[in-house]
Amino acid sequence: MVVQQKYTRKTPVSDEPGSGTLAIDIRGLTVRYNNVLALEHVTFSVSQQEIVGIIGPNGSGKSSLMKCIMGLVKPRKGEVLVLGQPNTEQRKRIGYIPQLEDVEWDFPVTVGDVALMGRYARRGLFRRPTRDDRQAAEAALQRLGMYEFKNRLIGELSGGQRRRVLLARALANGPSVLLMDEPMAGLDARAQHRLLDIMDELRDEGTTIVLSTHDLSCVSTCAAKVACLNQRLIAFGEPTEVLTEKVLNQTFGTHLLLVHLDGQAYAYQHHVHPSSATIEPPDSQPEEQQFP
């Protein structure tokens, strides 16, 4: 059983600027890797200064969707607009935090070097960093509480510290849109709360945030909208509208039992035997998630 975590968050802000330009506009997105379908006709939009969570099981296409928004993966069909323009023309305005498993941590670079890499989109890969570049990278490290580690090798850090350095790298370039792939994975409760606070601050400063996660309690409390994804878009809307037993069952392709207690909803995932509708015996330790 997963340890329950309960967040107390302020109400998310989703005010759309008067210009009406969407931060992200995804239109009929279909992605295949050779003959393997990753996404099928996915359509939804994200307003500026909004936090949107993407949930779904492993292999549901969450990472593929992130890479399509970045312009790193070319879709078979459909398009992605970022701030009203094709995403490939807006890469300088997009920050990206990959999963920890996607990073080569044995590479001999310091924390300061990694943060400075966030300025490459602005100055180019082969130009020497300027004083402004270094100041921006150091300011990002200070904000994340990692400045004192700037001369330490990245491979010597803990998982939570590495996550903060990757966030500092993304923030060093001052992105208008920030994509976060499983940012809560491997973080303890204190680190998760600090990351949620930073997300609130960034949103209030005008940054649009899209994060993929398995943590239902996170998206239910920090996100204005939730996209439930399993290759196709199962549902999209406010957490209270889409985090229902029916939608979650369709999204995760398995039976989820919702139990309401003290104003909270607890989602239990269990398996159904082919010959009966009874749940697994008590020693199977079903997976549990919590959300308001």
Q: Which residues lie below 8 Å from residue 201, measured CB to CB, with a gap of 6+? A: none
Structural domain includes residue 225: no
Of 18-27, 95-104, 132-141, 144-153, give the lowest mean pLDDT range: 95-104
Structural domain includes residue 183: no
Structural domain includes residue 98: no
Q: Tell me the average pLDDT across 13-29.
A: 72
Confidence of residue 214 (pLDDT cuts 50, 70, 90): confident
Does residue 288 have a pLDDT over 80? Answer: no
The residue to which tokens 């039992």 are assigned = 257
For residues 99 and 103, give the distance between their C-alpha atoms in angstroms, rounded to a whole number.
Answer: 7
pLDDT per residue as tens digits for the range 155-203: 888 878 888 899 999 999 999 999 999 888 777 778 888 888 999 999 9
Confidence of residue 269 (pLDDT cuts 50, 70, 90): low
The pair of three-digit structure tokens given for residue 205, joined into one six-digit string: 């400063």
Does residue 17 have a pLDDT over 70? Answer: no
Structural domain includes residue 134: yes
Q: 219 with 251: CB under 8 angstroms? A: no
Provide the domain limits for residue 157: 110-174
Structural domain includes residue 234: no
Structural domain includes residue 59: no
Q: What's the pLDDT score for residue 202?
A: 94
Beta sheet of 85-86, edge-to-edge order: 36-46, 24-33, 77-82, 85-86
Structural domain includes residue 159: yes
Number of domains in the chain: 1
Q: For the whole model, what pTM was predicted?
A: 0.79
Structural domain includes residue 248: no
Confidence of residue 259 (pLDDT cuts 50, 70, 90): low
For residues 9 and 220, give the distance between their C-alpha atoms in angstroms, rounded to a whole number.
Answer: 10
Left, alpha or beta for 12 (phi > 0: left; psi -120 to 50: alpha)?
A: beta
Q: Exposed (0-12), middle (13-18) or buried (19+): which is 126, by Cβ within 10 Å? A: exposed
